[in-house]
A and B are shown apart, each in its own frame.
Chain A
Amino acid sequence: LAKTTQPISMDSYEGQEVNITCSHNNIATNDYITWYQQFPSQGPRFIIQGYKTKVTNEVASLFIPADRKSSTLSLPRVSLSDTAVYYCLVGERGQGGYNKLIFGAGTRLAVHP
């Protein structure tokens, strides 16, 4: 399983765009890149997933360069409620069995007024 590296913490202010970069140098051909968000005292929740180029949903955008050795989660115009831990994970989708996810320590994002 590809190991991921992301910053331990980041600070931002309300209304700013936040970009969190994750490196995954050993990503395999069949691996997808997935981001989860975790608020205090809650379980993680899925934010976005991609394989290459750019993916956008109502919450975030995910930018993946051609070599796929890194990815960037972009949160537009953050608010105080975006304060959370963000996890970058790399792995295969389930194939009739399971897809084992390895959660690192994540990036602790603090949004300030």
Chain B
Amino acid sequence: DVKVTQSSRYLVKRTGEKVFLECVQDMDHENMFWYRQDPGLGLRLIYFSYDVKMKEKGDIPEGYSVSREKKERFSLILESASTNQTSMYLCASQTAGTSGYNEQFFGPGTRLTVL
């Protein structure tokens, strides 16, 4: 079974702090994604990566950056946390192959609160 793990389930930070959210997958997937989920808004894509050291902006990249130094690990960075970044953050991974369902496998999420 694919396993996607995230470094923390709950995190509380203060405004202005630099925040790192880590995600690791164990299925050698090429693609990795970071979403945030807010009530009534569904999941919104922040950034994705289709290869090591490659990244692409999603729909709401402002205030975030990412790092992918190794294939299995994708980090989301909040350079200077703000209260409007309080949210549930979800990481996902996906194979880049064209056969099969190509579903995204999600981690359990990190609920970040910025005070």
Binding site for B on A (CB under 8 A): 34, 36, 41-46, 49, 87, 93-106
CB-based A-B contact count at 8 angstroms: 68
Which B residues lie within 8 Å of A98 (CB)? 31, 33, 48, 50, 94, 96
Closest residue of A by beta carbon distance from B91? A43
Instruction: Sample 9 A-B pairs with CB under 8 A, ordered by A number.
Output: A34-B101, A34-B103, A43-B92, A45-B105, A98-B31, A98-B96, A101-B104, A105-B41, A105-B42
Query: Which residue on chain A has the smallest CB distance to residue B104?
Result: A101
Bound Cα distance A49, B92 (Å)? 18
**B45 in contact (CB, < 8 A):** yes
**Candidates A43, A100, A104; contact of B107 at CB < 8 Å:** A43
The residue in A41, A93, A94, A104 that gathers the most chain B C-beta atoms within 10 A of its C-beta is A94
Chain B contacts for A44, CB-based, 8 A: 43, 90, 104, 106
A43–chain B nearest beta-carbon distance, Å: 3
Per the bound structure, the CA–CA distance linking A100 and B33 in Å amounts to 10
